[in-house]
Amino acid sequence: MERESTSSENAGIDPKGSTASGIHPGTLAVCLACAAVVAWFYFFVAAPGAGGDLSTLYWLETTWNKETDYEHGFLVPVIMVGLIAFQWKNLRNAAGSGTWAGLPVVLLGCLFFVAAQRTGQPRLAVGGLPMILWGSSLYLWGWKTGRLLFFPLFFLFLAIPVPEFQQATTRLQILSTHLAQWGAELFGIQTVVQGTEIRSLGEKWEPLEINEGCGGIRSLMALIMIASVWAYLAPVSLWKKALLCLAAFPLAIFGNMLRLTSIFVISEYGNPHFASNTWHDWSGLLLFYPISLMLLLGVHSVLEGGLPWKRRKKIAVRTIVHKPVEAN
């Protein structure tokens, strides 16, 4: 005799009370309540050391400028939300019973917020936000959901300005200066370097100073952000993802060398005013990023053994041949 289906089964609810999507309505209500509490502290409570009555997240928004070399900061929360939306279907399917292991993570994030209040360092509070959100996801929906949300949530770390960041770029400035001089010599341009300043021996153009931004730190930070997302989305093993992320460092330095070299070439053989103004402002978008992304694609192709999309297509069309079963 067949067992009659219960009303709960017909409604798509399992014996534990979870919906077909894996998210219990009560859990969703708790999630919304927690989100409201977190939003209150981060959007409306003044952050000590931020100046005036700025909240923690509003202070963070004010730090995304040229002075801090964190102009890419505006893109980080947008990408973070996009990655969560990209994984939304998987998140719904992965949601299950929560684990108490999430509570220590939430507590650690709260301690970061308290430390920020005591020390006057709003960046500590921002650093605690991914911990609070990730720990909450563990507590409410378990490890499978936490695994999917780990990278998107902690991606926010790339938007937090590091103290005295500009002073740490001095060596990068010097390296960029000497690489640019070497690149200029390949095109027959004789220059002399004084610190981070490059002069033309033929005095065909005014001396050019390689400042913090031109040293490549902005390009490096932006490429690290792009390479991290690229590696996260790439269907490759963990060690290959790590190599894709690490590739951002040499590729950013090489791409910035080409950009600076192009400025010297145009100054020497073309229009110095155009090179140091218009081309200087647009060469990152027109030269650095296309070349850097192509090189990153090259690294990915080497790791995959071919162009990624062709490799995936080749695997997808691979068929399995079954031997015919002989009749008795």
pLDDT reported for residue 177: 86
User: Per-residue pLDDT averaged across 99-127, rounded?
Assistant: 91
Residue 213 contacts by C-beta under 8 Å, 6 or more apart in sequence?
66, 69
DSSP letter at 4 equals P
- Give CA separation, 201 vs 81, 120, 188, 192, 222, in Å: 51, 50, 11, 7, 34
Q: Give the integer Cα–Cα distance in Å for 23 and 191.
A: 65
Is residue 216 within 8 Å of 252, Cβ to Cβ? Answer: yes
Task: Give the span between the Cα atoms of 94 and 181, in whole angstroms.
Answer: 54
* pLDDT, tens digit (0-9, with 9 covering 90-100), for 254-275: 998 999 999 999 998 988 889 8
pLDDT tens for each residue of 209-235: 887 666 677 788 889 999 999 999 988
What value does the mean pLDDT of the chain take? 82
Which residues make Cβ contacts (< 8 Å) with residue 125, sequence separation at least 6?
42, 47, 56, 112, 113, 116, 117
pLDDT at 15 over 50: no
- Residue 72: pLDDT band with limits 50, 70, 90: confident
318 falls in which pLDDT band (50, 70, 90)?
A: low
Say whether pLDDT at 290 is over 50: yes
Q: Where does residue 195 fall: left (phi above 0), alpha (psi -120 to 50 degrees), or beta otherwise? A: left
- pLDDT of 22 > 70? The answer is no
Assess whether pLDDT exceeds 60 at residue 188: yes
- Alpha helices by DSSP H, the chain: 7-10, 25-43, 56-62, 75-86, 88-94, 102-119, 122-141, 143-154, 170-186, 217-233, 238-246, 248-269, 272-274, 280-283, 289-304, 308-316
pLDDT at 1 over 80: no
Least confident of 22-26, 28-32, 38-42, 159-163: 22-26
Is the confidence at residue 104, as pLDDT, over 60? yes
pLDDT at 214: 66
- Domain positions in the chain: 16-163, 167-314
Q: Which residue has the higher pLDDT, 97 or 68?
A: 97
The stretch 178-188 carries a mean pLDDT of 90
Tell whether the model's pLDDT for residue 168 goes beyond 90.
Answer: no
- Residue 296 near residue 249 (C-beta atoms within 8 A): no
CA distance linking residue 93 with residue 23, whole number of Å: 9
Give residue 107's pLDDT: 94
User: Contact at 8 Å (CB) between 261 and 184?
Assistant: yes
- Is residue 50 pLDDT above 80, yes or no? no
Q: State the pLDDT confidence band at 283, using cuts at 50, 70 and 90.
A: confident
Looking at residue 51, what is its pLDDT? 64
Burial readout 273-310 (b: 16 or more C-beta within 10 A, e: otherwise): eebbeebbeebbeebbbebbbebbeebbeebbeeebee
Task: With a cut of 70, say whether residue 295 has pLDDT above it.
Answer: yes
C-alpha–C-alpha distance, residues 229 and 134, integer Å: 18
**Which candidate, 165, 168, 138, 142, places its Cα nearest to that of 153?**
138
Average pLDDT over residues 263-288: 88
**Residue 123 C-alpha from the chain's centroid:** 17
Q: How far is 227 from 278, CA to CA, in rounded Å?
A: 28
pLDDT band at 24 (very low <50, low <70, confident <90, very high): low
Length of the chain: 328
Q: What is the pLDDT of residue 151?
A: 95
pLDDT at res. 127: 93
Q: In angstroms, how far apart are the furthest CA atoms of the chain?
A: 99
Cβ neighbours of residue 179 closer than 8 Å, sequence gap 6 or more? 253, 257, 260
Instruction: Evaluate the CA torsion angle 41, 47, 48, 53 in order and state its sign.
Output: negative
